[in-house]
Amino acid sequence: MNKRCVLTLPQVLADKLMAHLFPGDNDEHGAVITAGICRTKRGIKLITRDLFLARDGVDYVPGQRGYRMLHANFIREKIMYCRELSLCYLAVHNHSGYNTVGFSKPDLASHERGYPALLDINKGLPVGGLVFAENAIAGDIWLSKTKRIALDEATVVGGNIRRLYPSSLVLPKHFESIEDRQIRLYGEIGQYLLSKQKVGVIGAGGVGALIIEYLAGLGVGEIVTADPDRMEKYNRRRIPYSTVSQTMEWLVEHVWEKLYFLAVPKVVAAKRFVNRFNCNVKVKAVFGDITEPRVADEFKDCDFLFLAADTMQARLMFNALVFQYGIPGYQIGSKISQNQQTGAVTNIFSVVRPVGLKTGCLLCNGLINPAKLQEEALSKRERDAQAYIEESDTPAPSVITLNSRGASQAVDEFMLRVVGLYGDEDVTPYVRVHPHLRLIQYDIPRRDSTCPMCGDVAYSTRGKGDSARLPVRTG
């Protein structure tokens, strides 16, 4: 069975490409997309990194065997770039028409003539061709000289997450849904699109548990969640599906505190809950820390990511996954600030931060504290030895109602973006809600084009997929 092959394309690049391919002259135009590759059990995901437009008459010229062609000089320049950065090479052109598209015989003959050589130059990394029509895409991807696959779909990640196919999406006949009240909002197609989503939730604590609950209610296809902690007594008022038996609190408190290892991992509790609540939703429960390679690997081919963990290491990993693997994501949190001396509450807010190419990354916006990252990489003994650390291990205040504000806002936006009911605007500011002031603030994030994670520079890991290294630990 052929593996699923998909392409992700940021809205900003898609807009630029569409304007180039379809300027209104009903002619053909060309371009090259470079893409990182992510290989998983689910299939192959190509992650768009760069778009190079071919200049008409210079790079895209009258063809020798077909109507038009990309000039060899242009191809050489781009394939060498791909070789240097370990990226896939995808030649792009357009056909007229809409909602359906396919390659012509001269297109395919050209692939067969030219792509084996490009594979050699590109050190075996995939090369291929893409053809666009209005609202449609087809792809012929060469994984090797003997193995080629068709592109199943492309995802354009903007405000709405648009999907392009070789021909219009038709609902499978067997598709049935009990989510009648939801379908009245976004239709059966919307429900179908939700059911195809693989969503990652990093952290299954107070915020993560609510997100998982909402996603299960929406009927997404699969939830992947990771958390290194077990259920404990103090989680019970923030995780609605928690039970006394999951925490083993009687044993822990009255017999031996080390029996804590018998408590149920948070991710297992989440999985059990989802199995009861909506058995159509698959759950992959990963008991471990996101900085472990085996844990991080599970999130690489997610369609959407939520960060619901409060460590800097988790933020860095989430940020890296979002940009390296082209996954739209949200960071959600809530904070209660107190005066260190008096204990008086000085600020309360919950925040939802969309993270994507146009909003810039958490690093660009000063939300990954390098000093905290360093501290978190140390063992408890090392931290204790280096007694300079001011913050104690005392847990921060946390309240379910504050968590739910952020969680519901983020999952609302996810749902609306997937079903196509989100506004046209791609830039979504950070939303900060201060319930004690009845105040909602919008922070416009910034993007640094030289950022090592989301920037446009050659050394940035954006869109590089498996060819770049995630900031995971080795041991």
Give the largest Cα separation in the chain, rounded: 84
102 makes contact with another protein (CB under 8 A):
no
Query: How far is it, in rounded angstroms, from Cα 301 to Cα 42?
Result: 8
Segment near another protein (CB under 8 A); pick from 66-74, 239-247, 349-357, 467-475: 467-475
| Helix%, strand%, coil% for the chain, nearest 5 | 30, 30, 40
Query: How far is it, in rounded angstroms, from Cα 270 to Cα 279?
Result: 12
Measured from the Cβ of residue 83, the count of other Cβ atoms closer than 10 Å reads 15
Chain position carrying tokens 């472990």:
292
Q: Which of residues 167, 168, 369, 401 is near another protein by CB under 8 A?
A: 369
Query: How far is it, in rounded angstroms, from Cα 293 to Cα 315?
Result: 15
**What's the burial of 115, exposed, middle or buried (CB within 10 Å: 0-12/13-18/19+)?**
buried
220 makes contact with another protein (CB under 8 A):
no
Query: How far is it, in rounded angstroms, from Cα 132 to Cα 139?
Result: 9
What is the token pair recorded at 217?
Answer: 């209610």
**Which residue's CB is nearer to another protein, number 261 or number 442?**
261
**Which residue's CB is nearer to another protein, number 225 or number 291?**
291
**Which residue's CB is nearer to another protein, number 223 or number 470?**
470
Q: Which residues pair with 48 in a beta bridge?
A: 35
Contact track, another protein, 264-303, x by CB under 8 A: ---------------------------x------------
Q: How far is the CB of 371 from another protein (least distance, A)?
A: 4
**Which residue's CB is nearer to another protein, number 279 or number 387?**
387
- Report the C-alpha dihedral over residues 179, 184, 186, 187, rounded to 10 degrees: 80
**Which residue's CB is nearer to another protein, number 137 or number 307?**
307
449 makes contact with another protein (CB under 8 A):
no
Chain position carrying tokens 């390296």:
324
Chain position carrying tokens 């304007």:
19
Q: Are 228 and 310 in contact (CB under 8 A)?
A: no
Segment near another protein (CB under 8 A); pick from 128-136, 248-256, 392-400, 449-457: 449-457
Q: Which of residues 72, 366, 424, 438 is near another protein by CB under 8 A?
A: 366
Q: Which of residues 105, 254, 344, 388 is near another protein by CB under 8 A?
A: 388
Measured from the Cβ of residue 225, the count of other Cβ atoms closer than 10 Å reads 30
**Which residue's CB is nearer to another protein, number 197 or number 291?**
291
469 makes contact with another protein (CB under 8 A):
yes
Q: How far is the CB of 388 from another protein (least distance, A)?
A: 4
Q: Are 132 and 21 in contact (CB under 8 A)?
A: yes
Q: Which of residues 180, 387, 391, 458 is near another protein by CB under 8 A?
A: 387
371 makes contact with another protein (CB under 8 A):
yes
**Which residue's CB is nearer to another protein, number 131 or number 363?**
363
Give the rounded distance of the alpha carbon of 435 from its chain centre: 29
For residues 319-339, one letter each, b for 16 or more C-beta atoms within 10 angstroms of the residue's C-beta and e for the rest, the string is bbbbbbbbbbbbbbbbebeee
378 makes contact with another protein (CB under 8 A):
yes
Segment near another protein (CB under 8 A); pick from 8-16, 70-78, 209-217, 372-380: 372-380
Query: How far is it, in rounded angstroms, from Cα 403 to Cα 350?
Result: 7
373 makes contact with another protein (CB under 8 A):
yes
Closest CA to 414 of 186, 203, 244: 186
- CA Rg value for the chain: 24
Q: How far is the CB of 455 from another protein (least distance, A)?
A: 9
What is the token pair recorded at 257?
Answer: 């505190």
H or E stretch including 82?
helix 72-85
Q: Are 425 and 356 in contact (CB under 8 A)?
A: no
Contact track, another protein, 302-341, x by CB under 8 A: -----------x--x-------------------------
Segment near another protein (CB under 8 A); pick from 204-212, 294-302, 341-349, 371-379: 371-379
Segment near another protein (CB under 8 A); pick from 202-210, 233-241, 336-344, 445-453: 445-453
Q: Which residues pair with 433 in a beta bridge?
A: 350, 440
Segment near another protein (CB under 8 A); pick from 102-110, 171-179, 404-412, 450-458: 450-458
Segment near another protein (CB under 8 A); pick from 91-99, 180-188, 195-203, 382-390: 382-390
Residue 273 carries which side chain, given as an amino acid letter? F
Q: How far is the CB of 313 from another protein (least distance, A)?
A: 7
Chain position carrying tokens 């390098």:
370
Q: How far is the CB of 88 from another protein (least distance, A)?
A: 22
**Which residue's CB is nearer to another protein, number 35 or number 317?**
317
Segment near another protein (CB under 8 A); pick from 36-44, 57-65, 270-278, 362-370: 362-370
List residues binding another protein (CB under 8 A): 291, 313, 316, 363, 366, 368-371, 373-374, 377-378, 381-382, 385-388, 450-452, 469, 471-475
